[in-house]
Amino acid sequence: MTNLVIFASGNGSNFQAIIDATSKGDLHAQIKGLICDHKDAYCITRAQNHQIPCVLFNRKDYESKSDMDEAILNQCRLWDADWLILAGYMRLLSSVLIQSYPQRIINIHPSLLPQYKGKDALGQALAAHETTLGVSIHYVDEGMDTGSLIAQYPFQIKGDEDRSLIEEKLHQLEHKIYPLVIQQLIKEKP
Ligand code: GRF
């Protein structure tokens, strides 16, 4: 069985979609653990609800970012991770992690990359009056949403749609495609 470690900082709805896909048997993988960097993040409750171990990393406990990522790497090795799955993890990874898992760290981002990298990608796209929005799944490198693309899924909106409705559409799309893409990747490279 392929071992996944999920990285999340917030709500964790994508984490939940991955949990659900493994429970349903649509995703043939085991979630070994959650790495989280915010003690109050709801993704921790989701992990607890499903008896998934969670390890919290507080940046203030480490002298440098790479020290923290060394500790995260040790935890991923303890879990015997095959793939690291970023799902709303709000930090760049240091090279210590990237180089230890070459082409085995992926992220989901709510824009059609390379457009609208970084925070509030949806807000950036809406401010630019885009009517074609989308979601990208990409390999993670040291940059901010700069790794090579794996898959992209565009969708259309009407100019006058409510942001909350658009967000809902976007999340529904994310929850559908992320587990599918992960399954495809691990089928090729367990
Ligand atoms: C998602 O929109 C994802 O694309 C981005 O962060 C958000 C995380 O949402 N990287 P959630 O925590 O999975 O609900």
For residue 149, the domain's CATH number is 3.40.50.170
What confidence tier does 160 reach under pLDDT thresholds 50, 70, 90? Answer: confident
**Domain extent for 139:** 2-188
Task: Report, as an integer, the average pLDDT of 102-118.
Answer: 98
pLDDT tens figures, 7-28: 999 999 999 999 999 999 999 9
Lining residues, ligand 1, CB within 6 Å: 8, 10-15, 87-88, 108-110, 174
- Total number of domains in the chain: 1
Distance between CA 25 and CA 21 in Å, rounded?
6
What confidence tier does 85 reach under pLDDT thresholds 50, 70, 90? Answer: very high
Tell whether the model's pLDDT for residue 145 goes beyond 90.
yes
Percent of residues, the chain, with pLDDT higher than 70:
100
Best residue among 7, 108, 120 to mutate for probing ligand 1's pocket (most ligand atoms within 8 Å of CB) is: 108
Locus of tokens 């970023």: 86
Q: From atom 1 of ligand 1, which residue's Cα is the shortest distance away?
A: 88
